[in-house]
Chain A
């Protein structure tokens, strides 16, 4: 939200880290992340890792927004809460540092049944809640039952589908039984929304939107809305000797200039979501480290398939050819972005293939010819839905509109604030929508959530491609990575040909920190800025 835009393109409010149209954008698995974000800090970080970490100090962290609620399961439209939850709560599994798979957290080990439907997790022994009580399998069962309960209104819950059963058969294990095999099940468990919460704490009447009790490296101390949220070191964290920091204080800034100024004056040590116009200045400072994520926020425009003339594939192809991606990067991202040349996967993903190429790139003459072939030689009238809350979306929409106009398509901009925009997308009240797609979890299976006609997104866009549905279903059920990769290549090639959604560009997401913050990592797209905080330390 929630503002990498800045400068003249300043958003009207803090930038959400997740997109509106997606549920929570975070990617993770399968993306080899280090090369994506190492920036200038990579080599230095590596050498710093060899140094003995220092203990102590309070890290001051500037977040672009105050989390509207603290409940990991029902987190709102900003990623800020995920950063905080990653520090206070634990999950059964976490992503590996390179996000190539998952690694144990509260679950010490796990077994998967031969049919791929049953996952049995053995819990780590002796893990304590921050109130001193022992973690039990009942807590895990309670957490997932709560996540799946419609009353919790958890945005991530639909990703699992219906019918996942959770049992706690004994004092050490938790068993998940799935209605059908799901190759992405483990990566799904590693997102912050799947944090394990205390059954006793919730049943005692505590409001998780307002109070936190976890098993993570930091203990929730207090939250003054719009002011700060304070965490202190968990002295009983199960990783002995960690965390290194005495605490973390988050301060919230709604204004970008103030946030950048706070970092520059060292009022804070680190900030998330660096505004685009400030990136160059911070990069040029030798005492600063900028951690990039350049490949996982896909700006797009998508077309309502049941509205004329978007059912006609030639029209969609023509519109894809009509938009100047470079112009959109300049207008919406102050030049800090990259044209998408393939599908919505990052290069380090195991499912990425250079063979997937966009077939309908910027070419106004071709666009006009395709429109004529489709029976619209004089263009047509339509509308573009976007929002005024985030300048990067609004300015993308303006560029898309200009591109359409140049080929004879007269598109009226329909700009609303975020809640109205969201409502119109969810209810299918749009012709063309402009927004971003961000992978929801660390597995290419996230494509199912967007492009399967049974998915909520698919229903919003009125997708109905049986072939693509079949590939996505098969890829989800398959246990062979090679087979899955081929299926995802098929899916992407079909997307490139039928273009129900046009991927335009990615943005340069960045966190910035003073160099004295060591061993900080940022996992692109996924939980953003709060991962592995037990490893962070201050060299000052």
Chain B
């Protein structure tokens, strides 16, 4: 198991690096001059100014040399500095990455805490009106784009009812209460989509497990229905749900791009979009590298969690 985990970890690193390299080359092939973008008002700058800046940023070197230089710095644990403002990328990542993860974790919690009970309820009340209602709500939540649902949530709870602050960010250290209030709307918007998916998956998996022989046996032994439902059915139905949840972490991280924009949540997606707009290559590369690494790590954790839930997987990996 340990060797398996270690192998996956090493593979994760190379996967992340591969993703970052793809981004490195595709970014440099994209139209638009990084120097002009970094300088901002480049339309009014002399060619001498532009050339000096190009040299300073190292963009007058060949792409391979630039890539080698970046990898060499990376090997020393140095993600580099922003083209635009010279700030160390690690510093910006250290500030923004936890904010995005916080949003994802909060959304995940909302998704799981709402989705699993709703899925169980749907299973036990199959083909009744509440099951249909939950199915309809799930479909709606999955179908409506997050920029629409986000805006609706903002207008309803922020502007009309004024229950919660509309948008912004205050760090937990500065004001924990305000921080959590500001987290609720974006996390809920993101979490409801997750909840819908989890509901559907839980319902489907449980219905399938309920038809299994061991569930029938459990009932035949006279076990209470609650025990059959939660210990035998739900526990076994959770495997695909856990896998799905792991996969959804990637979707949630992707979903933060819109949600962070709508709710002015200053996470890593905000950093990424801003850097891409400014052709700030080192920042984009840094964000992609960290995101990719995080994603493969989550996949690894899901695998390990599955192994711990299912002895067949655990035994097979040993």
Contact = CB atoms under 8 A, between A and B. Distances in A.
Interface of A: 13, 18, 20-24, 66, 68-70, 74-78, 150-151, 153-159, 207, 209-210, 224-228, 251-255, 257-258, 261-262, 264-265, 267, 389, 416-420, 422-423, 425-426, 440, 449, 456-457, 460
B49 interface: yes
Given A254-B264, A389-B277, A423-B32, A76 B167 contact: no
A440 B45 CA distance: 13
A22 B45 CA distance: 10
B43 A68 contact: no
B84 A253 contact: no
Interface string B75-89: 000000000111100
Interface core residue of A151, A252, A257 (most chain B CB under 10 Å): A257
Contacts of B266: 224-227, 252
A300 to B, nearest CB: 14
Given A153-B52, A254-B261, A417-B32, A76 B40 contact: yes
Contact of A155 (B41, B95, B154, B169): B41
Interface string B136-172: 0000000000000001001000110010011111010
Contacts of A69: 84-86
B278 A20 contact: no
Contacts of A227: 169, 171, 266
10 contacts: A22-B44, A70-B85, A150-B52, A153-B45, A155-B39, A226-B266, A254-B261, A257-B154, A261-B154, A419-B34
Contacts of A261: 154, 158-159, 166-167
Interface string B271-295: 1001001110000000000000000
B33 interface: yes
B56 interface: yes
A209 B86 CA distance: 7
B96 A418 contact: no
Task: Decide if the interface of chain A is mainly helix, strand, loop or mixed.
Answer: loop
Nearest to A19: B43
Interface string B21-64: 00000000001111011011111111011101100100000000
A155 B44 contact: yes
Interface of B: 31-34, 36-37, 39-46, 48-50, 52-53, 56, 84-87, 92, 95-96, 151, 154, 158-159, 162, 165-169, 171, 261-264, 266, 270-271, 274, 277-279
B265 to A, nearest CB: 9
B44 A23 contact: yes
A423 B87 contact: no
Given A76-B41, A255-B262, A210 B46 contact: no
A254 to B, nearest CB: 6
A348 to B, nearest CB: 25
A207 B32 CA distance: 26
Contacts of A78: 40
Given A150-B48, A226-B266, A419-B37, A265 B162 contact: yes
Nearest to A155: B41
A434 to B, nearest CB: 14
A226 B96 contact: yes
B167 A151 contact: no
Nearest to A68: B84
B42 to A, nearest CB: 6
A70 B92 CA distance: 15
Contacts of A13: 277
A349 B49 CA distance: 32
Contacts of B171: 224, 227
A264 B277 contact: no
Q: Which 4 A-B pairs rank lowest in CB-CB distance, beginning with the nearest? A: A23-B44, A76-B40, A155-B41, A419-B32
